[in-house]
Amino acid sequence: MRRVAGLVALAALLSSQALAAGMDPRNPTCPANPNWAATGPMKFTLGKDGGKRILYAEGQIDAGVTARLQAALDKNKPVDEIWLRSPGGDARAGTEAGKLIRAAMIPTRIPNGWACFSACNFMFMGGRIRFVDPGGLFIVHMFTHTSDRREIEANVLRGTESTVGMIGDIEQDSALLASEDNDFLIRMGVSRKLLTEVMYQQKAVAEQGGDQSTRRCLTHDEVLKYNVANVQ
């Protein structure tokens, strides 16, 4: 009992320290409020930094992001870099936008203070040259098709046949998405160990128990180790 009480006290202490440091107690590698421009679909605006023409990519990734990105590139050419700030969104749309960035051979950057999460990872990895500045956040999680618990519960209530069908669809699409992720990382020159050692080690959804984490902020050393950033 004393050991359990001690562990509870330690967890409470670590949680309070994380809060004091502005970190997320459930995801202790990440800040509590990442700067990832969560409001509205991703927008593209042109700016300048040190004489470079920068395309700022900010907001949620939806099915229309690739078309908007192509239009922005056509309108604002030449673009020297694309800077990303996003909470993610549609995983496959992020991959398609990443492929477009690679075809255009434009470097990508996560600048100091900005955060790139989930589907944004794949847009960022499209850069032939990739920068994650000190203080920039590359945040990963395990992609899933089971995060909508209300949909799962509804299928369970409909009965066994509906539940089995849902599970089959999830398994098939998840396997396809994992294969697509693996292929994309190979093509972009990013280590596949990013998937096996980091992304797929995260839980898809928070559960009861001690570890509530569902996302992970890579350290600067990890960003370089997995070749997420290929320039220091």
Q: Which amino acid, one-letter code, is at 87?
A: P
- In the chain, where the domains are located: 1-33, 34-225
Torsion region of 206: left, alpha or beta (phi above 0 gives left; psi -120 to 50 gives alpha): beta
Does the model's pTM come out above 0.85? no
What per-residue string of b and e applies to 87-107 under the rule 16 or more CB within 10 Å gives b? Answer: bbbbbbbbbbbbbbbbebebb
pLDDT in tens, 16-58: 444 445 999 989 999 999 999 888 999 999 999 999 999 999 9
Instruction: Please state, in angstroms and rounded to a whole number, the distance separating the CA atoms of residues 91 and 62.
Output: 9
Instruction: Please state, in angstroms and rounded to a whole number, the distance separating the CA atoms of residues 123 and 90.
Output: 11
pLDDT in tens, 138-171: 999 876 544 444 544 554 556 565 555 545 554 5
Six-digit token string for 173: 């699409």
What CATH number is given for 34-225 in this structure? 3.90.226.10
